[in-house]
Amino acid sequence: MKFPTHVNIHEVCPRDGWQRYHQLLPTDIKISLIKSMIDYGCNEIELGVFSKIPKLTRQYQDMEALASAILPYAEERGVKITSLVSDYEDARRSLDLGISNVSCFLSVSEEFAKGFDTTAEKSFADLAAIAKLPDVNVTLALGAVFGSPRRRDAGFAKHRLCQTRHRAGRFRHRPCRFRRHGSPRSDPIHPLCIPG
For the cut 60, the answer to whether the pLDDT of residue 16 exceeds it is yes
Mean pLDDT is highest, among 53-57, 72-76, 114-118, 189-193, for: 72-76
Give, in order, the Cα–Cα distances in Å from 175 to each of 67, 103, 183: 26, 11, 11
pLDDT of residue 150: 54
pLDDT of residue 116: 74
CB count within 10 Å of CB 193 equals 10
Give, in order, the Cα–Cα distances in Å from 110 to each of 46, 145, 182: 25, 11, 17
Q: Is 41 left (phi over 0), alpha (psi -120 to 50) or beta?
A: left
pLDDT tens track for 28-86:
999 999 999 999 989 999 999 888 877 778 888 899 999 999 999 999 999 999 999 98
pLDDT of residue 164: 52
Percent of the chain with pLDDT over 90: 29
- What confidence tier does 19 reach under pLDDT thresholds 50, 70, 90? confident
Mean model confidence pLDDT for the chain: 76
- 26-39 in b/e burial notation, b at 16+ Cβ within 10 A? eeeebbeebeebbe
pLDDT: is 29 or 122 the higher one? 29
Rounded CA separation 99/101 (Å): 6
Query: pTM of the prediction?
Result: 0.72
Judged by average pLDDT, the poorest of 21-25, 45-49, 75-79, 94-98 is 21-25
Type of residue at 3: F
Query: CA 119, 145, 22, 56 torsion: positive or negative?
Result: negative
pLDDT of residue 194: 34
- What confidence tier does 15 reach under pLDDT thresholds 50, 70, 90? confident
CA atoms within 13 A on the CB side of 129: 15
Percent of the chain with pLDDT over 70: 71
Give, in order, the Cα–Cα distances in Å from 146 to each of 25, 46, 47, 53, 124: 33, 23, 26, 24, 18
Classified as helix, coil or strand, 163 is helix
* Closest by Cα among 102, 149, 106, 100 to 126: 106
Mutual orientation of helices 63-76 and 27-39 as an angle, nearest 10°?
A: 20
Judged by average pLDDT, the poorest of 51-60, 164-173, 186-195 is 186-195
Q: Is 195 left (phi over 0), alpha (psi -120 to 50) or beta?
A: beta
